[in-house]
Structure 1
């Protein structure tokens, strides 16, 4: 337990250190135009845990995102967003032979999982996406941040094994913390409209997302791997522009100046 807490504290310190490196001297790097965006995205949310031990694209369930993005320097943008998804998993829904394993057949579990994520991430753009002199603006980017996750779980098992007592769990909404990390690409359709494509993973610090834990006994769960969830999708956003006047022309600087 102490080692686990230490790892979490170390990760938080690492993220803060990255932020300090990127945000230092941002005020000197600000261009004459500041942009902000609002957008929506649609895609798939995925889960990796006891019922899905490996990432499979076929396990995607519909997900919706809304977000706000603001550039603070040429390479760095900040983004806040909400993601919603509802998913159903079962030990019997996988179609390939890799999932016809003794443990899923032993559990016969069914899972309903609803997610709502509130995230704040920093994006690093590898190309100068905000150079408006370019005839075509495009840039791949990397992102990392922190997220709060609200989730609701309903779990049931239908095992015929007399050594496994049936599990029926209907958890109220729970809250946990995740670390989003991933990659994407932005493409400017016009001066105001942007198209985006993104894939990201969310690292959790517990093994309770699917409600199957070693506490249930009879080895129905793997106690050595924490759960993960993922999002991949496409987005469209609209850009707003603000011209930053040089200081000598500012008579009374406002809150945003």
Structure 2
């Protein structure tokens, strides 16, 4: 009797063991292959300055801007992006000016306008609120937020009704903190559409050549200059299949 029970138990264990091997092999085969993605893209939009001449964001102040970027996913939620953005006026009268605020004392006194060009090199981290890189998601889209650091090369000229405020073109380099929000939408497996609005907090108050160091004190000493970028982009995604690590019967300490 005992021998019969033992044989039955052994047969059950053997069946379970064989079944588990086939089940685990089947489940492993059904697991998605790890895939990482990278993108290259181009965007067009507007750059907008905020400072002494324009203390509030004004949409009409936007001047043309162009950006190119490279983006790589690090996880389902995190992507890193490097990019170059340039902005330059198309027409000579495309300037930032005191005109919209001329009822205010400083603006009425200066009657100044600013000619500004920007070149930005940035690196930012994006947080995707949805799993954008999962192709099982329909539709495939995600809002995101970003923050990073940027180096900014700017060229500016100040023109004023007051001769003592006129400044010739000055080129200088500064640092900014870019941050903002955007939306990604997959047009197809490889092509993506993007919308973005971002602000750049500068570490200088001299981009408009008006600062607290000026003898006439026509600047706010408690506020640095800002600029913004808002635009639309198109990008192309590259997919890379990541092979699983090589099996080692006795892995080393660093494996």
Query: Shorter-chain TM-score: what band?
Result: 0.7 to 0.9
For residues 121 and 134 of structure 1, what CA distance do their matches in structure 2 show? 25
- How big is the shift at 1:249? 7.5
- How big is the shift at 1:170? 2.3
8 Å contact from structure 2 (residues 130, 143) kept in 1: yes
Q: 1:54 aligns with which of 53, 56, 80?
A: 56
For residues 170 and 238 of structure 1, what CA distance do their matches in structure 2 show? 42
Secondary structure, counterpart of 2:108 in structure 1: helix
Secondary structure, counterpart of 2:53 in structure 1: coil
Q: Which residue of 2 aligns with 1:77?
A: 79
Give CA-to-partner distance per residue, 1:167-215, whole Å, 9 cap, x none. 2222442110000010001000000000000000001111111111122
Q: Which residue of 2 aligns with 1:134?
A: 137
**For residues 85-104 of structure 1, what are the structure 2 equivalents within 5 Å?**
85-87=87-89, 88-92=95-99, 94=100, 99-104=102-107
Q: Which runs of 5 or more structure 2 residues have no equivalent in the other structure?
A: 1-32, 90-94, 249-255
Secondary structure, counterpart of 2:88 in structure 1: strand
Q: Which residue of 2 aligns with 1:242?
A: 240
**For residues 1-257 of structure 1, what are the structure 2 equivalents within 5 Å?**
32-87=34-89, 88-92=95-99, 94=100, 99-159=102-162, 166-248=164-246
For residues 234 and 147 of structure 1, what CA distance do their matches in structure 2 show? 20
- How big is the shift at 1:135? 2.7
Secondary structure, counterpart of 2:132 in structure 1: coil
- How big is the shift at 1:100? 2.5
For residues 184 and 152 of structure 2, what CA distance do their matches in structure 1 show? 26
8 Å contact from structure 2 (residues 38, 70) kept in 1: yes
8 Å contact from structure 2 (residues 69, 83) kept in 1: yes
Give CA-to-partner distance per residue, 1:51-91, whole Å, 9 cap, x none. 00011111111110000000011100000000011242122
Q: Which residue of 1 aligns with 2:27?
A: none
8 Å contact from structure 2 (residues 70, 82) kept in 1: yes
Q: Which residue of 1 aligns with 2:12?
A: none
Aligned-CA RMSD value: 1.6
Normalising by structure 2, we get a TM-score of 0.79
For residues 77 and 211 of structure 1, what CA distance do their matches in structure 2 show? 36
For residues 158 and 80 of structure 1, what CA distance do their matches in structure 2 show? 41
**Residues 171, 249 of structure 1: alpha-carbon distance in 2 compared, 3 angstrom cutoff:** farther
For residues 185 and 116 of structure 2, what CA distance do their matches in structure 1 show? 33
8 Å contact from structure 2 (residues 102, 111) kept in 1: no
* Larger radius of gyration between Structure 1 and Structure 2: 2
